[in-house]
Amino acid sequence: MTTDDGIALITDARRAAGDGNDESFESTAWARLAHAGDSRSFAAGWLDIQCRAFEGVIRGAVILRTSEAAAFAPVAVWPEGIEGSPKLAAVIERALQGRRVVVDGTKRVPRRQDPIFIAHPILVDDELYGAAALEIEGRSEGAVRDLVQRLGWGIGWLEALARRKTFTSKARLVTVLEIIATSLQHERFQAAATAVATELATTFGCERVSLGFMKGRHIQVRALSHSSAFGKKTNLVRAIEGAMDEAADQLATVVFPSRKDGPFQVTRAHAELLQQHGIGAVCTIPLTAGELVLGALVLELPAGAEFDARTVELCEHAALLVGPVLDVKRREDRWLAEKALDSMRTHWRHLVGPRHVALKLWALLAALALAFFSIVDGDYMITADASLEGKVQRAVTAAMQGYIVEARARAGDIVREGDVLAAMDTRDLRLERQKVLSQGAQQESERRQAIAEGNRARAAILEAQSGQVRAQLTLIDEQISRAQLVAPFDAVVVKGDLSQSLGAAVERGNVLFELAPLDTYRVIMKVDERDITSVAVGKPGRLALASMPNEEFELTIEKITPVSVVDQGRNFFRVEARAKGAIDKLRPGMEGIGKIQVERRRLVWIWTHKLVHWMRMWVWSWWP
């Protein structure tokens, strides 16, 4: 490779790679590639490009076999002059021995200071030519997978060059790079495939270039040169697909008319394509990824033209690199349902085919678990939000209009029967009582005088008025006694706090306190309307409160309210239950979770019946 050839080659390669930096070109790694005269110089320049393109690279190395009988030896390191790494050397050794990509050092929680070692073998026709390795800063597993994929694309340069056992000329490598750049310019598969087919047809002077990819057991034409749309069932397309299948079955490039020194091949489909459509020559190259056939590439020359060995070889290089790129785009461009179906097929093949022992073991365990849960019974219990209420809830109201002068209890306090909860101002009542007493004394004096005078009629009237005064006194005394609000029984104060309302006026009948007894409670559960048909009076259950999650209380259903309540967009029925056990620890207002035991049913039904019911309702709602 001459210097002039190298400069032109790398200039076009920079354009294909999208490198627009024109500053100090001779001092960059691209300049080193342009002036490379042997494999070592080219590998050093290539490694410099890769290490600068990836972020966080610590060191890199390229190991090649310089001749057929020679052992593998490092031909380039980055940065130059850096000391070797034993861990990187070990990863390279594993990649060469296993002939596979090796990644070491990944962690669930990556840290930049924990390096990751990546080694990628260079394989051509299942023959090992060397490996490229990088030591990078710690990063996530997804970022490492992306870097491995990009490194594999970059190694395609070395694989294509190793196939010829030497570095190609400027025009040939630039052609391959331009085709690769064309495939990467478009995001959608159809546009990229059509552009690649058109580029190949223009470059090699073909009458038509077709690209096809495997669908099921046969290859289907997906793109034609200079054509964005075509009939998939025309005779031409069917003939091209036959030629693609013929080459894919033989896993070899098929050229027709065959060369005299070429190997024996089956070319019946190629001969029919040539005869029916009047072309001069046809070349079909399988698109492969290792031993997997992805599709095929068909090139057709006009009448009178033939394929030479160098052109076929160049097309094989292009197909080797472009095929996997287009296949990735094709897979990513499918519908989500198609991707899911393809993934299921792949897992099924892994499940019934050889290898993949771990997958088979997990599938067996899943089948055994499903069988177990389909046979074994369990307690079917309905779960609902629950809260505690006093079975009897007494309201303490103001017996008269007045003012609060004393507050001795508030919400949460436990009171005994007869304890004073609060007191109202009685000064007005006592003044009124004094007034009534004075009137009574005056009437009593007048009554005695009437008796002394023998005026019986007036004495009778005054006697009646004295009785009225006594009744007023009795009423006032009763009101004074009611000015002290007392607890009617042993209870807990559920509601009411007058400590911040001393001196405030209250009207007769105002609710000042709400009390609940300490020994009788009821549990209120909000049961979803989907489960209410399974609940019946007398069913047992259990209660766990948020304040006492480690203790469970026995329940018995006592009442089902036949009216639903809407809460947070869902319908619930109010179900009352009676709590048993150590209820002295309970307090009204506590909340938790209640479970109502219904009956024993299959475990798989218990865990899936709600989903099945939802699907039935959804299907019924859409069914005509």
Q: Residue 99: left (phi > 0), alpha (psi -120 to 50), or beta?
A: left
Q: Yes or no: say if 279 and 206 are a contact pair by the CB < 8 Å rule.
A: no
Tell me which fold the domain 520-622 belongs to. Answer: Elongation Factor Tu (Ef-tu); domain 3 (2.40.30)
Confidence of residue 221 (pLDDT cuts 50, 70, 90): very high
Q: What is the mean pLDDT of the chain?
A: 81
Q: Is the pLDDT of residue 581 over 80?
A: no
Residue 166: what pLDDT? 44
CA distance 308 to 259: 9
Model confidence over 464-494: pLDDT tens digits? 888 888 888 888 777 777 777 778 777 778 7
Dig out the tokens for 540 from the structure. Answer: 């047992």
Question: What's the fold here for domain 38-167?
Answer: Beta-Lactamase (3.30.450)
Degrees to nearest 5, angle at CA 431 with 425 and 434: 140
pLDDT given at position 12: 41
Return d(Cα 137, Cα 107) in angstroms, integer: 12
Query: What pLDDT, on a 0 to 100 scale, did the predictor assign at position 286?
Result: 94
pLDDT of residue 211: 94
Cβ count within 10 A of residue 53 = 14
User: What one-letter code names the amino acid at 576?
Assistant: E
The residue count for the chain: 624
DSSP string for residues in 37-74: -SHHHHHHHHHHHHHHHSTTEEEEEEEEE-SSSSPEEE
Integer Cα distance of 105 and 528 in angstroms:
51
Containing 128, the helix (H) or strand (E) segment is: strand 127-136
Residue with tokens 């639903």: 564
Q: Which of 30-34, 186-190, 460-464 has the highest mean pLDDT?
A: 186-190
What does R_g of the chain's alpha carbons equal in angstroms?
47
- Phi, psi dihedrals of residue 216, rounded to the nearest 5°: 75, -125
Q: pLDDT (tens digit, 9 = 90+) per residue, 551-562?
A: 888 888 988 887
Edge-first strand order for the sheet with 484-486 is 484-486, 420-424, 402-407, 505-506
Residue 9 pLDDT level (bands cut at 50, 70, 90): very low
Residue 486: beta bridge partners?
420
1-10, 15-24, 111-120: range with highest mean pLDDT: 111-120
Give bridge partners of residue 539 from the DSSP assignment: none
In this structure, which amino acid lies at residue 83? E
pTM higher than 0.75 for the full model? no
DSSP-assigned states of every residue in 559-622: EEEEEEEEETTEEEEEEEEEE-S-GGG--TT-EEEEEEEEEEEEHHHHHHHHHHHHHHHHHHHH
Taking every pair of Cα atoms in the chain, the longest distance, rounded to a whole number of angstroms, is 166
pLDDT at 570: 83
Residue given tokens 């104060």 in the structure block:
493
Mean pLDDT of 159-185: 68
Give the DSSP per-residue string, 540-567.
Answer: EEEEEETTEEEEEEEEEEEEEEEEEEEE
CA distances from 161 to 166, 170, 196, 253, 570 (A): 6, 12, 21, 19, 68
Nearest C-alpha neighbor of 54 from the set 119, 166, 137:
137
**pLDDT band of 593, cuts 50, 70, 90:** very high
- Cβ atoms of 156 and 129 closer than 8 Å: no
Between residues 21 and 131, the one the model is more confident about: 131
d(CA 386, CA 107): 45
320-350 pLDDT tens trace: 888 999 998 988 888 888 888 888 888 888 8
In degrees to the nearest 10, what's the CA dihedral of 564, 566, 570, 573?
A: -30
Q: Which fold has domain 186-333?
A: Beta-Lactamase (3.30.450)
Burial track 122-136 (b if 16+ CB lie within 10 A, e otherwise)? bbbeeebbbbbbbbb
Residue ranges per structural domain of the chain: 38-167, 186-333, 340-373, 394-515, 520-622
φ and ψ at residue 587, rounded to 5 degrees: -140, 145
Question: Residue 376: which of 604, 619, 135 has the closest Cα?
Answer: 604
- Give pLDDT tens digits for 362-378: 999 999 998 998 888 88
Residue 399 per-residue DSSP state? S
Name the least confident of 26-30, 105-109, 144-148, 580-584: 26-30
Instruction: Assess whether pLDDT exceeds 60 at residue 36.
Output: no
3-state secondary structure 406-467: EECCECCCEECCCCEEEEECCHHHHHHHHHHHHHHHHHHHHHHHHHHHCCHHHHHHHHHHHH
558: left (phi over 0), alpha (psi -120 to 50) or beta: alpha
| % of the chain beyond a pLDDT of 90 | 16
C-alpha distances out from residue 76 to 79, 81, 137, 212, 572, Å: 9, 10, 20, 39, 74
User: Out of 64-73, 348-357, 398-407, 584-593, which region has the weakest mean confidence (pLDDT)?
Assistant: 64-73
Question: What would the pLDDT profile of 74-104 be if each residue is shown by its tens digit?
Answer: 888 988 878 778 898 999 999 999 889 999 8
For residue 304, which amino acid is it?
G
Cα gap 330→346, rounded to integer Å: 16
562 prior amide bond cis, ω within 30: no
- For residue 145, the model assigns a pLDDT of 87
CB 475 within 8 A of CB 400: no
Distances from the Cα of 523 to the Cα of 387, 389, 543, 594, 610, angstroms: 6, 6, 9, 9, 25
Q: In what order do the strands lie in the sheet with 72-78?
A: 72-78, 57-65, 127-136, 116-124, 102-104
Confidence of residue 219 (pLDDT cuts 50, 70, 90): very high
Residue 25 has pLDDT above 60, yes or no: no
Alpha helix stretches (DSSP H) within 108-188? 141-163, 170-185
- What is residue 497's DSSP assignment? B
CA distance 282 to 287: 16
Same-fold call for 38-167 versus 520-622:
no
Question: pLDDT digits over 516-544, tens only?
Answer: 777 777 888 999 888 888 888 889 999 98
What stretch of H or E contains 404? strand 402-407
Q: What is the pLDDT of residue 474?
A: 83
- The number of beta carbons lying within 10 Å of the beta carbon of residue 448 is 12
Helices (H) and strands (E) in the chain, counts: 15, 24
pLDDT, position 248: 92
Neighbours of 412 (CB within 10 A): 13
Res. 27: pLDDT tops 80: no
pLDDT, tens only, 449-460: 888 887 888 878
